[in-house]
């Protein structure tokens, strides 16, 4: 029997609080390659964590009253650690088996919500329930030594556990996940729980030795790729997302985030155009009259597809700057997508923060920033953001943004275009033929003359793109009855999910 010590009980409280938050943070990153990190996924994670802990608090209290023994508490912690340790090993087969999205359309709200909920319950509910049993158990054991100070003892236990939770929030986010990866992070905190819990087995050396061997086997077994993809040539995790690069049979490379519902960059070593929405931005500099090199800013640089294309077509006629929040995406762009700092000045920052801190005026600002593949960051859609964009444009400058929408009438597309039109005197929308989900919205204070632009373009590679802008561009007028997105209210994620659900429903009819 391990000697009961109030200090040791506080150590247990600290470690359990540390592990709970570390696993909650890690859960979001572990699920991201398969389900993304949308509000729906986070809701499932937080909901399951709270439910499991609530059940654990209740059951732990009942068990502690019946059998207030330290060895039992340690074995609960040991079991939680072992269950956490096998999670990275089971995530692949489990998501392959429980993949509701394959029955519908990837990224649809119902599919994402249901499948991520099921996986979260299976993987995390039981070990979190076991950790939830720890606090009431500790309070019971603590009160046996200080029966007249139960309130003070409970407060101290919860305080120490909360301090552990604070550390468990920052350590994975700031160091372990970006530097070591999600699997290693889970393994580290699971191992910590196992080592603590194994103190309850120290009299049984055979069981302890078996446990150590199991620990080493499982830790080694999960050293594999994060996702199964025969075309995968690179994968990594950053503080923002799971990053992968795949290459098809033609040798074309694609940059994907999380579950890969959208392509963030494309690179074909044989030709500059990639037959995707990126190509459309190459005609826009022709709309800007300037005797000086045109200054272009790309928010959402990713692998640098747009920057490389603009440099190819305009060379010294333009000066390109790119803003990309994820340093690991920049590194992947340099290695796999020919991203070259000699042709684009790269800023590793948040796009909106960059604009707030910069006083540079640009002739063209291109916005192609997406989080969780299909979601435009809401901070890049609001009235306040477009006023900031307007302030950073030259007198004859223009802005362009790529928007994913299943059709022209979606609430997402209409709210974004109406918000832009409330700021700029001239707003336009052009459907992208190479991708039915893409629309290019352009805006400026001066009228954009697409017909005149077409006459000045003599490059045959841009001929078809120019014709689309001339023939299919629609003028957007501000409608005060339609929604204006603001920093206070911009339900972009809900609009995107509702849009995907509408598509799902139409396919089912």
pLDDT band at 179 (very low <50, low <70, confident <90, very high): confident
Q: Which residue has the higher pLDDT, 496 or 315?
A: 315
Q: pLDDT value at position 104?
A: 41
Judged by DSSP in three states, 483 sits in: coil
Q: What is the pLDDT of residue 144?
A: 77
Are 337 and 213 members of one domain? no
169 and 304 in a single domain? The answer is: no
Q: Is 367 a domain residue?
A: yes
454/374 same-domain check: yes
Most confident of 84-98, 254-268, 316-330: 316-330
Domain's final residue, options 205, 221, 237: 221
Using pLDDT thresholds of 50, 70 and 90, give the confidence band for residue 141.
Answer: confident
Number of residues that make up the chain: 509
Q: Are residues 74 and 204 in the same domain?
A: yes
Determine whether 368 is an active site residue.
yes
**Residue 239, domain member (yes or no):** no
Q: Let me know if 61 is exposed, middle or buried by CB neighbors in 10 A (0-12, 13-18, 19+).
A: middle
Question: Both 368 and 482 in a single domain?
Answer: yes
Tokens representing 98 are 């429980």
pLDDT at 108: 46
Q: Judge if 326 and 426 occupy the same domain.
A: yes
Same domain? For 191 and 287 the reply is: no
For residue 279, being part of any structural domain is answered with yes
Are residue 60 and residue 136 in the same domain, yes or no? yes
pLDDT at 300 over 80: yes
The answer to whether residues 430 and 467 touch, using CB atoms and an 8 Å cutoff, is no
Q: In what order do the strands lie in the sheet with 393-404?
A: 344-347, 318-323, 294-299, 362-367, 393-404, 438-444, 426-431, 474-476
Is 450 part of any domain? yes
One domain for residues 343 and 449:
yes
Q: Mean per-residue pLDDT for 294-316?
A: 95
Q: What is the pLDDT of residues 352-402, one digit of tens each?
A: 999 999 999 999 999 998 865 567 888 899 999 999 999 999 999 999 999
| Domain extent for 423 | 274-508
**Count: domains in the chain:** 2
pTM listed for this prediction? 0.75
Are residues 118 and 207 located together in one domain of the fold?
Answer: yes
**Has residue 230 been placed in a domain?**
no
Question: Is 199 within a domain?
Answer: yes
- Which of 204, 221, 238 is the C-terminal boundary of a domain? 221
435-296-334 Cα angle (round to 5): 70
Same domain, 217 and 304: no
Residue 255 lies in a domain: no
Residue 147 is assigned to a structural domain of this protein: yes
- In this structure, the answer to whether residues 78 and 196 fall within a common structural domain is yes
Q: What is the pLDDT of residue 311?
A: 96
**What is the pLDDT at residue 154?**
84
For position 442, what pLDDT does the model report? 97
Mean pLDDT for the stretch of residues 477-483: 93
- Candidates 326, 350, 368, 425; catalytic one: 368
The pLDDT of residue 384 is 96
- Give the CATH number for residue 303: 3.40.50.150
Query: H or E element: which one contains 244?
Result: strand 242-247
CATH number for the domain that contains residue 173: 1.20.1250
């Amino acid at each position: 029997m391990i000697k009961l010590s109030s200090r040791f009980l506080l150590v247990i409280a600290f470690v359990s609080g540390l592990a709970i938050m570390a696993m909650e943070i890690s859960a979001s990153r572990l699920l991201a390659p398969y389900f993304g990190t949308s509000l729906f996924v986070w809701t499932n994670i937080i909901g399951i964590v709270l439910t499991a802990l609530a059940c654990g608090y209740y059951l732990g209290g009942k068990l502690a009253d019946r059998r207030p023994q330290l060895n039992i508490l340690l074995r609960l912690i040991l079991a939680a650690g072992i269950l956490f340790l096998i999670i990275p090993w089971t995530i692949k087969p489990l998501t392959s088996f429980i993949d509701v999205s394959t029955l519908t359309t990837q990224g649809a709200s119902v599919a994402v919500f249901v499948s991520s909920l099921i996986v979260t319950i299976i993987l995390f509910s039981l070990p979190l329930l076991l950790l939830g049993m720890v606090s009431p158990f500790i309070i019971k054991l603590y009160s046996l030594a200080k029966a007249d100070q139960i309130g003070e003892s409970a407060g101290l236990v919860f305080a120490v556990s909360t301090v552990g939770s604070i550390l468990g929030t920052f350590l994975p986010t700031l160091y372990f996940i970006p530097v070591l990866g999600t699997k290693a992070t889970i393994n580290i905190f699971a191992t910590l729980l196992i080592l603590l819990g194994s103190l309850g087995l120290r009299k049984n050396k055979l069981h302890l030795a078996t446990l150590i061997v199991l620990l080493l086997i499982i830790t080694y077994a999960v050293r594999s790729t994060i996702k199964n993809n025969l075309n995968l040539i690179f994968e990594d995790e950053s503080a923002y997302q799971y990053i992968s690069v795949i290459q098809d049979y033609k040798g074309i490379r694609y940059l994907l985030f999380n579950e890969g519902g959208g392509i963030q960059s494309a690179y074909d070593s044989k030709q500059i155009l990639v037959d995707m929405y990126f190509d459309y931005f190459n005609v826009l500099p022709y709309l800007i009259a300037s005797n000086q090199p045109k200054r272009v800013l790309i928010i959402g640089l990713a692998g640098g597809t747009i920057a490389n294309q603009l440099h190819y077509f305009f060379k010294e006629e333009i000066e390109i700057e790119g803003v990309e929040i994820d340093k690991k995406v920049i590194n992947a762009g340099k290695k796999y997508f020919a991203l070259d700092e000699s042709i684009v000045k790269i800023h590793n920052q948040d796009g909106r923060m960059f604009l707030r801190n910069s006083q540079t005026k640009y002739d063209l600002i291109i916005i192609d920033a997406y989080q969780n593949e299909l979601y435009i960051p809401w901070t890049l859609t609001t009235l306040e953001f477009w006023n900031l964009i307007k302030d950073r444009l030259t007198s004859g400058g223009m802005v362009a943004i790529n928007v994913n929408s299943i059709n022209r009438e979606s609430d997402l597309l209409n709210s974004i275009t109406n918000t832009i039109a409330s700021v700029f005197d001239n707003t336009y929308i052009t459907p992208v033929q190479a991708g039915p989900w893409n629309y290019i919205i352009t805006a400026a204070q001066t009228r954009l003359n697409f017909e005149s632009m077409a006459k000045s373009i003599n490059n045959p590679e841009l001929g078809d793109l120019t014709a689309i802008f001339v023939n299919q561009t629609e003028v957007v007028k501000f409608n005060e009855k339609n929604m204006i997105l603001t920093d206070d209210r911009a339900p972009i994620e809900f609009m995107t999910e509702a849009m995907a659900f509408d598509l799902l429903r139409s396919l089912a009819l």
